[in-house]
Amino acid sequence: MRLLTICILLCCFSSLLAQRKGKSNTDTVKITNIGKAINSVFADYAPVISADGQMMVFTSTRPVTEKEIKNAKPGFENVYSSTYDEKKKKWTEARRMDEALNMQEMNNSAKSLSGDGQKTLLYRDDDAGNGDLYESHLAGAVWGTPVKLPEPINSKDHESSASFSPDGKTLYFVSNRRQGSKGGRDIWVCRQDNHGVWGVAENLGGVINTIEDEETVFMNHDGKTLYFSSKGHKGAGGYDIFRSVNENGKWSEPENMSNINTADDDICFILAASGLVGFYTSAKMGGLGDRDIYEVRFTPKPKKETPQLTLLKGTITDETTGAPLEATLEIIDVVKNNVITTISSNSSTGKYLVSLPSGKNYGIMVKAKDYLFHSVNVDIAYSAGYQEVIKDIQLKKLEVGKSIVLNNIFYDFDKATLRTESMAELDHLVQLMNENPSITIELSSHTDNKGTDDYNQKLSQMRAQSVVDFLISKNIAKERLVAKGYGETVPVADNETEEGRQQNRRTEFKILSK
């Protein structure tokens, strides 16, 4: 009998070990309490972060009013923020956020932060007591008054958690609404059309949702990996954290994050874009308070692929003064010629940040009032792993003599034929000409030093003329346009390297008069 018991225990242990080895997506994890700068003796939870992991917003019940402080009693939920100090390698002391986000005598809880940190979702009690989701935008250093999200996201039932997709056009949220439910609290999805109107709310389905409760949803920066907590999927106890990947419209079987989960409730998991640092909330023993926020540092398995994601960030400034600018950035799929998403740089700092999943050729169009637009081309191969690219952009005033490179104008090889990938950039040029009907411009084309001088001169002239012909076809008067081919005579980089030659192969336009 004793031998049988030992065998059963060994089998159970082996099964558990195999489960942890098979389902853990990393060899090792290091879990640490994030510390007293953020956690308190009260409940601290629901962390949300920017894509680069430099800004955190979280929820705390620490006392705020004089009465609460005097009695040392927890108060209403309030939203706090902290930033990561790269030099000191630690989080700054948490501060209670603007009054606009923290309405008095009401629970205010952080639920999602857009990748660029310029938009946040909050949970609030409302008059009916059922709880709803609200959205606030950052204008410079000030958060705007939160606006209640419309139906079908909010309902007469309870909406408790939410997460933006990377492009901001899809919202994943948790609701206990009954119609269409799989049971308990479920995860739902709602999508926004090109006019900003939210469509119908759809249950995420039986692969994700169970008859028990699902909670605290987070869509990763790759736009396809979902993290959530559940009582219904097989786990260690209470709420456990799971992940599922959407491939070709189908969700994978949820994977238990066994290297994180405990016998206590583990919720509110989020991940930085790098995939190496995450945060979550747990009530485990040894914490500083009721519930604490924990940091998870992952050490990937050997040869494990890093997230297929590029984090593009930088600062937009005036070319002459260096002053930060609030600008609009359109992220364009140049192959499909459609705008994927639109973001803005911060009006106080000029900073921007955007996540770009691998496998696309992106055009980034930067625009601000009274300035020439600036274009960036980011072509990311399917095989590209995680990388951070810093691209500071200086915008030029709309003045005579100013010129810019049109980085998203493409020609057929060794020809002057404009490729369809050029259409988005050309359309912006048409728009600029229509918005400024008095300006005249020179369209110029340049080559590297491969080939003869005469051939390069003729090719560049034909390419410049192709752009002019396109503008004329869009009813831009030909008197306002000059086509000029410079061949290889005006290089901007060394022709001895492929990178330099690529920079020299370019199309520009310059303002001649206005």
CA 355/CA 374 separation, integer angstroms: 19
CA 179/CA 276 separation, integer angstroms: 38
pLDDT digits (tens, 9 = 90+) for 376-392: 999 998 888 899 999 99
Helices 453-473/423-435 angle, 10° precision = 60
Least confident of 77-91, 167-181, 301-315: 301-315
Q: Is 60 exceeded by the pLDDT of residue 151?
A: yes
Least confident of 115-129, 218-232, 386-400, 455-469: 115-129
CA 103/CA 297 separation, integer angstroms: 34
Q: What average pLDDT does this structure show over 36-51?
A: 95
pLDDT digits (tens, 9 = 90+) for 400-458: 999 999 999 999 988 999 999 999 999 999 999 999 999 999 999 999 999 999 999 99
pLDDT digits (tens, 9 = 90+) for 49-66: 999 999 999 999 999 988
302 burial (CB, 10 Å; 0-12 / 13-18 / 19+) is exposed
Q: Is 60 exceeded by the pLDDT of residue 25?
A: no
pLDDT at 70: 87
Domains of the chain (ranges plus CATH)? 24-299 (2.120.10.30), 308-397 (2.60.40.1120), 399-514 (3.30.1330.60)
More confident residue, 26 or 79: 79
Least Cα distance to 136 among 158, 120, 156, 160 occurs for: 120
Average pLDDT, the chain: 90
| Pairing mode of beta strands 440-446, 338-344 | unpaired
Position 61, amino acid: T
Residues 6 or more apart whose CB falls under 8 angstroms from that of 470 comprise: 418, 426
Angle at 413 between CA 407 and CA 416, to 5 degrees: 75
Least confident of 32-36, 191-195, 235-239, 251-255: 235-239
pLDDT band at 128 (very low <50, low <70, confident <90, very high): low
pLDDT digits (tens, 9 = 90+) for 347-371: 999 999 999 998 899 999 999 999 9
Any bridge partners for residue 376, and if so which? 364
pLDDT at 84: 94
